[in-house]
Amino acid sequence: MGNYLYAMKKNGFLVLPILLFLASPLLFSQTFNVDFDLDDVICKEQERAQFQMDLSHNRNATADQTDIYYQVMRWDMDPAVNYIKGVITYYYKSRVDNLSQLVLDLANTHTINYIRRGNQDLSYVHSQDQLLTIDLGKTLNIGQVDSLTISYEGIPPSNGFGSFVQGTHGTAPIVWTLSEPYGARDWWPTKQDLVDKIDSTDIYLTTPTGNLGASNGKLISITEENGKLVHHWRHRHPIASYLVALAVTNYTAYSNWCPLPNGDSIEILNYVYPENLADAQMLTPTAVTIMDFYNQKFGIYPFADEKYGHAQFGWGGGMEHQTMSFMYNLSYGLIAHEMAHQWFGDKVTCGSWTDIWLNEGFATYLTGLSLEYTSVDYWWPQWKSSTSNSATSQPGGSVYVDDTTSVNRIFSSRLTYNKGAYLLHMLRWVMGDDHFFQACRNYLNGSGTAYDFGRTTEFQEYLETESGIDLDGFFADWFYNQGYPSYHIQWTQQQDSLIIWINQAQSHPSVSYFEMPVPVWKFHNNGASERLVMQNNQQDQRFSFLVGDVIIDSLQFDPERWILTRDNTVEHLITGIDDPTENKLYSFYPNPASDYIQFNTDVEITRVRLINAQGVEVQTKLNDHRLTWSNLPPGMYGVLVENQKHEVVSVQPVLILK
């Protein structure tokens, strides 16, 4: 697909993580280091997800039948022991009539101590497909509420890729969790599909003394009970199950604060290894700068009433756990990427792994935007160059994930991250800054998306409603289909006019033509320059600009890198004579004409182009100095004659009649 124009809708508007990026190779490096190679870190993510994805065919088919609106979650964790004990109370309502079972996901390595409603024990089946099916002992209709409590314990399955890890840093023990995409069931009974967020949670994490327990939300208290510490974290925002997280070790805690326009401030709570404290304290002030920028662009941090945090952990990457990202280091790029997820990925979570770019493409682009904000002349151009080079390093591939059974496909650095980020960059170009950023804010705050799940179709609707632009063709080309364009720009200056022709080749046959507003900068011999923007909708399209007596020195295609493209060329067509409009050597008759013209010359003619008033070349045939056509609308056309060097040697008008 691809034959479309950016146009106003005729009848109103349509209605509508694991990730680290740019991480420094040195733990807590004190330099502002930006490393644009994502391959190593994406490889880690793919490996970690592989085991979880292998088990993903055991899906909870009833996940959408209930709405869990509150959970009280009590866990006992010793960082020196690979073991977890939990007691969780679930408050939920039915989304269907005659609901008689609650089905949760839980690995088979765990033992169920009991499942109760009050003092009533409930029967259950914990099957080999890792589903925990609970008989409610009654039926619920739509909207009816219920609650039950599960006590369990066990050794989480060891897959080597992070869902539940017990290890050490230095000589101190540590335990931490990381659940995306299918690892939550490894350590607690939950629904891990992308259909239901838990509206509110209270988490009580019991640890040995001398440790801190990191989790989601606001730290309410740390109390001592029976010789242990109980950390109470309260979270009053909806959260997807894979974003619930725990980490326990001998952390040192300190805070930075991001001021708000109303005089309040957001706490940025840092849990770091004691041996890294000095370096961390030098690096985390960067988070204040980045958060202030995101607040301005996308609205105040979605969980500002609680906190944002960093908790150091042992996996070589980062994870955007809601309100507290788990971080391998505190490099600029990793901070920017994981923090960006709090808006795109946590507040609004992709509703399907086919749409994971709504998490990862956005976080990658926001990292770039933060570089535009802090280093517009140095790191921002390098980010655009590196990101576009990666996205176009192969001729095919769509941002849309067409195979959710493949970990490599879901977590593709080239497509999900880099091409997804550049898709957003091009939407910004097509719509303009004001419309683009407002549409993103509308998506974040929409009644169907805020603190919920989002899909690409919903995001497109917000874009179209805000801008009034029909983006069906854009998403067909850039999201669902594959590849990128390569442009060949030709230009010549004739008297007081600059004439530009645009041709395009596509890297993949799924797109017949990428219709885009194409920017070209013209540079004058007096040192001045100006950006020209042409709405390019078809092959060999001609554009003319009045430049007066200014001499054009050169043209440059898209030096600001708005369009995802590569292998572009700009060709200056040198005319064979001083003024091709005065060259009588190529005179022709008749004029006016109906279906042909005949040239009065013995000079060999290599090519003749017939151009309509819109600058588009029309189909013709040249045979023995006769140019013929058929069924052309009447009007004024231009006849351009070129020699063997592709020099324009004659430009003459012809009036075509019926």
- pLDDT of amino acid 148: 98
Average pLDDT rounded to a whole number, residues 523-531 = 88
| Domains 353-480 and 485-572 equal at CATH topology level | no
- pLDDT of amino acid 158: 77
Fold held by 580-656: Immunoglobulin-like (2.60.40)
- Which secondary structure element, helix H or strand E, spans residue 358, and what is its range? helix 357-374
- pLDDT of amino acid 573: 81
User: How sure is the predictor about 7, in pLDDT bands with cuts at 50, 70 and 90?
Assistant: very low
Residue 129 three-state SS:
coil
Q: Per the CATH hierarchy, to which homologous superfamily does domain 39-57+66-340 belong?
A: tricorn interacting facor f3 domain (2.60.40.1730)
- pLDDT of amino acid 160: 52
Fold held by 485-572: Immunoglobulin-like (2.60.40)
User: How sure is the predictor about 48, in pLDDT bands with cuts at 50, 70 and 90?
Assistant: low
The average confidence (pLDDT) of the chain is 89
Dist CA 598 CA 377 (whole Å) = 56
Tokens of 20: 């680290």
Of the CATH numbers 1.10.1030.10, 1.10.10.10, 1.10.390.10, 1.10.3210.10, which one belongs to the domain with range 353-480? 1.10.390.10
User: How sure is the predictor about 287, in pLDDT bands with cuts at 50, 70 and 90?
Assistant: very high
Angle at which helices 420-431 and 456-467 cross, to 10°: 20
Contact 116, 110 (CB under 8 A): no
Q: What is the pTM of this model?
A: 0.84
Residue 452 three-state SS:
strand
Dist CA 186 CA 108 (whole Å) = 8
- pLDDT of amino acid 505: 94
Rounded-to-10 torsion of CA 578, 580, 585, 589: -160
| Start-to-end Cα distance in the chain | 33
Tokens of 585: 């050597």
370-424: pLDDT as tens digits: 999 999 999 999 999 999 999 999 999 999 999 888 878 888 999 999 999 999 9
Pinpoint the alpha helices (H) of 432-514.
433-445, 456-467, 472-475
238-257: pLDDT as tens digits: 999 999 999 999 999 999 99
- pLDDT of amino acid 606: 82
Domain ranges across the chain: 39-57+66-340, 353-480, 485-572, 580-656
- pLDDT of amino acid 1: 38
DSSP 582: G
Dist CA 591 CA 327 (whole Å) = 75
CB environment 582-597: b (16+ within 10 A), e (fewer): ebeebebeeeebeebb
Pinpoint the alpha helices (H) of 277-356.
277-283, 285-298, 332-340
Residue % of the chain over a pLDDT of 70: 88
551-609: pLDDT as tens digits: 899 999 999 999 999 999 998 887 554 456 556 678 898 988 999 999 988 788 888 98
Dist CA 384 CA 47 (whole Å) = 27
